[in-house]
Amino acid sequence: MKSLLDIRANTQVKIVSISGGKNARRTLGQMGIGIGSIIRLKRNAPFAGPLLIEIHGSSVAIGRGVAVKILVEEI
Amino acid sequence: MKIALIGQPNAGKSTLFNSVAGYKSATSNLPGTTVRYTESRVRLNGHVCQLVDFPGTYSLSSSNEAEAEVTRYLLKGEFDLIINIIDASQLGRSLLLTLELMELGVPLVIGLNMIDEAGRKGITINHERLGEILGIPVQTTVASKNLGVRDLFILAKKVIDGRLGSEIKKMSYQKDVEKIIAELEGILTQKFSVSLTYPSRFLAMKMLEDDGFYKDVVISLNGDLLSPKITELQNRLVKLRGKPQDSVLLLERSALAMDTYSQVVTLGAPQHDWRERLDSVVMHKVAGYFILLAVLLGFFYAVFEVGALLEGYLIEGFDSVTGLLSGYFNTTSFIFHLTQSAIWGISGGVAIVLPYLVPFLIGLTLLEDAGYLPRVAFLMDAFMHRIGLHGTSIVPAVLGYGCNVPAVMATRILPSRRDKIIAAVISSMVPCSARSVVIFGLVAFYLGPLWAFGIYVFNIVVVATSGKVLSLLMPEVSPGMIMEIPPYRWPSFQVIRKKTWFRIKEFIVVAWPILIVGSVVLGLLEYFRLDAWINAGLSPLTSFIGLPAVVGTTLIFGVLRKELALIMLTQAIGTTSVLTVMSATQILTFTVFITFYIPCVATMAVLAKELGRKWMTMVIFLTLFLATFFSYMVHLGGAHIF
């Protein structure tokens, strides 16, 4: 299983699970990002910076610490 | 009549609020700008009603302070109606909040805002159908252009008067989950049917989500007698779906939201416009940082050029007034002294502060409203991590450049108390517009804009270092950044005008009188030779950092308003040509001291409120120490440079 960190930019993925803290899961969920969501990875920022994903047409920046906990599969 | 305006961050609540109430609530294209409630009395068709603008919230869960506060006030505030503002281009996600609001038992109206932007994204919404499914009247709006806003409030009035006969539909989850909710709801109503201030079904769902705030509510009513039962029901949910209990309800809600979404939305091809191409440059891994630097330098020079030009003309004008005055009065008389110091206060506000303040605020507003600041947060996240914070913490820090008070308040959007403390402390060290006026008016004006830019860069280094030290002292794994990057929006001329005026008005009614009174007080002190005592008392400090003893008084008054220090400086040394009295090193030392020392009284008050007195006192000592230390360094180093 790959985490969101291992995915290259401009790839569509489906979220399989979100491990770790309840708070992160909740915050993601509030933005419509949950298990089963289909998201597009827009970019990986430099210097270990955050990732940028697209969901339902809006952009969300996700820190690498959170991204590593999001397991996905490519579709 | 009491109406609440609620919606997710950046949905345009404050824009809508301002378009009916006049500019009262701070708006920007930055999620998390509003952290307090703004109330206003507005007339709707001849009826006076009280309108409350809520901070943006993604849901009614309580993952941070701002969110917990929203639900509390919403339920205790006795609202006749909730207007749920939805960003039409984010309908799917926004419905998650709507579904929760529907459980509160307060009448609802939906304002489907930014419908034009949805159109650009290729999203067509059948809003009548949406209204039917939810049982909530819907009105489409474009708040920034004031379209549909009037109709929205007419609709709201109709609902309050009961003239629409619409009834909020009960949105049911899947049967097995509903059964568990119903079981807990039954227990809750049976146990405390009288004392329950929250709707029982809503409370039951929050219990099942394991929401800390609501668990505390129930524990406060009943001790933890119910806790085993709740845990048992949560475990049943986990078993049913094979996912953590908080995810189960969220997924149920998402399913309902997506189901509704798919029934009302027709997706066309989104217009991939210049915004996407712009972002690929602005957020580029290399170019992005160059653009950031260019934007900041451009902003800086623009403010300075405009400010210096105006300051030159205005000071000349006021100097000639003072010159005329000496022709009428005896220059040693009490009257002359009094009038002269009053004029000094008045002219200081007009000739020294406003020339820089106005372009500074316009520039800041442009950056905010266009949506550049979240991109800065994105670019800075890696560096913020190095100092132990995540990118979201930069939102308060950036707001601090306008004014520290809202910046400290904005730390409420941070999830942990430790992050909040660090962010609030560093935000209070960011040079606000008042301190910027001092930097521009003294350093940029007399030593050149590059020196002033240097102070800003140096300040960023100090702020970052302080953040790092604090995070080492309070080790804790900071939760990662999860932040929405809103689309670029053209700043509207109307909004910029109103917003800048809103902030300038604050200067005119609050700060200016302080400047004038401060100048008169200083004039009196000088007349009765009392300032010598104060200056003598502060002379150990002033001589340590190599400043003339006469500036001692200004440092004290600067605590009230930082601009006051600048105005009083010219008054204390008796001329607006500062360079004739103070050396370049002394100007730099003075500015560095003013930039870093004790935040103004308003900031202290908000620090005490948000973090407690202990932290406020710590900030005072920390900043005093830093200011003295850095000014001393400038004093030592200046001799070699100038």
pTM: 0.77
Q: What is the pLDDT of residue B399?
A: 78
Task: For residue A32, give how far its alpha carbon lies from the nearest alpha carbon of chain B (Å).
Answer: 5
Non-local (6+) Cβ contacts of B493 within 8 A are none
Q: What is the pLDDT of residue B624?
A: 93
E strand map for B117-184: 123-125, 138-140
Instruction: Output the CA torsion sign for B324, B326, B327, B329.
Output: positive
User: Residue A61 to residues A55, B391, B506, B541, B591: CA-CA distances in angstroms?
Assistant: 11, 9, 34, 47, 37
Q: Half-sphere exposure (CA, 13 Å, Cβ side) for A25?
A: 23
A61 contacts on B by Cβ (under 8 Å) = 374, 377-378, 381, 391, 481-485
Q: What is the pLDDT of residue B27?
A: 60
Q: What is the pLDDT of residue B348?
A: 80
Task: For residue B214, give how far its alpha carbon lies from the nearest alpha carbon of chain A (Å).
Answer: 15
Task: For residue A51, give how far its alpha carbon lies from the nearest alpha carbon of chain B (Å).
Answer: 9
Whether A30 and B270 lie within 8 Å, measured CB to CB: no
Chain A residue with CA closest to B379: the answer is: A49
Q: How far is CA B243 from the centre of its chain?
A: 37
Tell me what the mean pLDDT of segment A2-6 comes to.
86
Beta-bridge partner residues of A40: A12, A54
The DSSP letter of residue B580 is G
pLDDT digits (tens, 9 = 90+) for B438-481: 998 889 888 988 898 899 989 988 988 888 888 888 877 666 77
User: Residue B631 to residues B480, B557, B571, B596, B601: CA-CA distances in angstroms?
Assistant: 36, 18, 22, 9, 22
Q: What is the pLDDT of residue B139?
A: 94
Q: Are strands B2-7 and B47-53 parallel, antiparallel or unpaired?
A: parallel
Q: What is the pLDDT of residue B195?
A: 62
pLDDT digits (tens, 9 = 90+) for B507-525: 888 788 888 888 888 888 8
Give the residue among B391, B398, B293 at the shortest CA–CA distance from A50: B391
Q: What is the pLDDT of residue B291?
A: 92
Whether A45 and B58 lie within 8 Å, measured CB to CB: no
Q: Are strands B138-140 and B108-113 parallel, antiparallel or unpaired?
A: parallel
Comparing CB atoms, the residue among A31, A50, A67 nearest residue B58 is: A31
User: Please, are residues B87 and A56 in contact by the beta-carbon 8 Å criterion?
Assistant: no
Task: For residue B295, give how far its alpha carbon lies from the nearest alpha carbon of chain A (Å).
Answer: 20
Whether A26 and B63 lie within 8 Å, measured CB to CB: yes
Non-local (6+) Cβ contacts of B338 within 8 A are B520, B523, B524, B527
Best mutation target among B381, B414, B488 (most A Cβ atoms within 10 Å) is: B381
Burial-class residue B135 by CB neighbours within 10 Å (0-12, 13-18, 19+). middle
User: Please, are residues B96 and B255 in contact by the beta-carbon 8 Å criterion?
Assistant: no
Task: For residue A40, give how far its alpha carbon lies from the nearest alpha carbon of chain B (Å).
Answer: 14
A35 contacts on B by Cβ (under 8 Å) = 243, 247, 251
Chain A residue with CA closest to B67: the answer is: A27
Whether B385 and A63 lie within 8 Å, measured CB to CB: yes
Q: Which long-range contacts (CB under 8 A, 24 or more apart) does B154-157 make?
A: B154/B44, B154/B45, B155/B109, B156/B3, B156/B44, B156/B81, B156/B83, B156/B109, B157/B44, B157/B45, B157/B47
Rounded to 5 degrees, φ, ψ at B573 are -90, -5
Burial-class residue B42 by CB neighbours within 10 Å (0-12, 13-18, 19+). middle
User: Please, are residues B44 and B157 in contact by the beta-carbon 8 Å criterion?
Assistant: yes
B484 contacts on A by Cβ (under 8 Å) = 31, 58-61
Q: What is the pLDDT of residue A45?
A: 60
User: Please, are residues B423 and B414 in contact by the beta-carbon 8 Å criterion?
Assistant: yes
Whether B285 and A65 lie within 8 Å, measured CB to CB: no
B-contacting residues in A 34-63 (Cβ below 8 Å)? 34-36, 43, 45-50, 52, 55-63
Give the residue among B43, B40, B52, B17 at the shortest CA–CA distance from B157: B43
User: Residue B361 to residues B150, B303, B308, B368, B375: CA-CA distances in angstroms?
Assistant: 30, 9, 15, 10, 20
Task: For residue A7, give how far its alpha carbon lies from the nearest alpha carbon of chain B (Å).
Answer: 17
Chain B residue with CA closest to A42: the answer is: B280
Q: Which alpha helices (DSSP H) does B413-544 contain, by range?
A: 417-427, 433-438, 445-447, 449-473, 493-506, 512-527, 531-544
Give the residue among B584, B353, B618, B373 at the shortest CA–CA distance from B473: B618
Q: How far apart are CA B270 and CA B273, in angstroms?
A: 9
Whether B89 and A26 lie within 8 Å, measured CB to CB: no
| Regions of chain B with pLDDT less than 50 | none
Q: What is the pLDDT of residue B85?
A: 94
Chain B residue with CA closest to A33: the answer is: B93
Q: Which long-range contacts (CB under 8 A, 24 or more apart) does B575-579 make?
A: B576/B315, B576/B319, B578/B442, B578/B446, B579/B446
Rounded to the nearest 10 degrees, the angle between the axes of helix B13-21 and helix B149-160 is 90
Rounded to the nearest 10 degrees, the angle between the axes of helix B245-264 and helix B127-134 is 140
User: Residue B295 to residues B477, B540, B576: CA-CA distances in angstroms?
Assistant: 33, 42, 32
Whether A45 and B378 lie within 8 Å, measured CB to CB: yes
A55 contacts on B by Cβ (under 8 Å) = 93
Q: How confident is the model at residue A46 (pLDDT cuts 50, 70, 90)?
A: low
Q: What is the pLDDT of residue B631?
A: 94
Whether A27 and B481 lie within 8 Å, measured CB to CB: no
Give the residue among B508, B553, B503 at the shortest CA–CA distance from B528: B553
